[in-house]
Amino acid sequence: MSRFKAVIFDLDGVITDTARYHYLAWKRLAETQGVHFDEAFNEHLKGIDRMGSLELILASSQRSYSQEEKLALADEKNEHYKELIVTMSPGDLLPGAVRALDTCRTAGLKIGLASVSRNAFTVLDRLGIRGKFDYVVDAATIAKGKPDPEIFLKAARELDVPPAECLGVEDAVAGVAAIKSAGMWALGIGDPQTLEQADAVIPGLAQFDLASY
């Protein structure tokens, strides 16, 4: 029996990898603004919501922007991103993702999704796994992005499970910080040195073992 009653997953980098689509969309937008954008810059956007990512990019620009201009640029990036993810399919699920979700379901745990992506519902539909979640947080209803714990606390509240009885799964430093701030147990996906705040770290969901946490 697991000591948890719910598992709350992040989406990007955990269940699927839409990072390449975000990268291409942000790169095109940054370069239209005269900002050099590469893989190293992209790493700083990991786990950060759309407007937060845009602010980081525009901080390297030589000009200032009004709020209206920022919103227009964010929409431009999102439209390009949506064009790119239309090609997604169940083949884009990361190894072990479905098995991990099914393991949680078999164990009787509730399953939530806490992604700051406003396209999470579209991505889940393209992957064919939307029905595997008891609750998916609508990022549009979240006032503060990660590392603020709001999104994880909302998932726990809607799942009707105390935060202390939730396992959060994240691949980003900001996401792990959000899980810990929410009072949950954090399972990191990726590099143990990078995700040092996590309670445990595994390379990917192919190594997910509910009995070990």
For position 196, which CATH number holds?
3.40.50.1000
Q: Which amino acid is at 31?
A: E
DSSP letter string over 5-56?
SEEEE-SBTTTB--HHHHHHHHHHHHHHTT----HHHHHTTTT--HHHHHHH
| Residues 146 and 78 occupy one common structural domain | no
- Which of 58, 85, 112 terminates a domain? The answer is 85
Average pLDDT of span 104-112: 97
Out of 10, 102, 125, 199, the active site residue is 10
| Catalytic annotation present for 10 | yes
Q: Is 118 annotated as a binding residue?
A: yes
> What's the gap between Cα 5 and its chain centre?
21
Q: Kindly state whether residue 44 falls inside one of the protein's structural domains.
A: yes
pLDDT tens digits, one per residue of 117-145: 888 999 999 999 999 999 999 999 999 98
Out of 12, 17, 125, 199, the active site residue is 12
Q: Kindly state whether residue 101 falls inside one of the protein's structural domains.
A: yes
- Look at residue 115 and give its three-state secondary structure: coil
Q: Is 132 annotated as a binding residue?
A: no
Q: In what order do the strands lie in the sheet with 185-189?
A: 135-136, 110-113, 6-9, 166-170, 185-189, 200-202
By CB atoms closer than 10 A (0-12, 13-18, 19+), residue 79 is: exposed
Q: Is 47 annotated as a binding residue?
A: yes
Query: How much is the pLDDT for 59?
Result: 94
Q: Is 45 annotated as a binding residue?
A: yes
On average, the pLDDT of the chain sits at: 94
- Look at residue 195 and give its three-state secondary structure: coil
Q: Is 146 annotated as a binding residue?
A: yes
| Residues 121 and 196 occupy one common structural domain | yes
Q: Which amino acid is at 180?
A: K
| Catalytic annotation present for 38 | no
Q: Kindly state whether residue 1 falls inside one of the protein's structural domains.
A: no
Range of weakest confidence among 21-25, 89-93, 106-110: 21-25
DSSP letter string over 64-111?
---HHHHHHHHHHHHHHHHHHHTT--GGGBPTTHHHHHHHHHHTT-EE
| Residues 61 and 123 occupy one common structural domain | no
| Residues 105 and 70 occupy one common structural domain | no
Rounded to 5, what percent of the chain is helix, strand, coil?
Answer: 50, 10, 40
Q: Is 185 annotated as a binding residue?
A: no
- Which of 57, 85, 113 terminates a domain? The answer is 85
pLDDT of 147 higher than 90: yes
Query: How many residues does the structure list for the chain?
Result: 213
**Which residue from 106, 209, 126 is spatially nearest to 167, judged by alpha carbons?**
209
| Residues 29 and 72 occupy one common structural domain | yes
pLDDT of 1 higher than 80: no
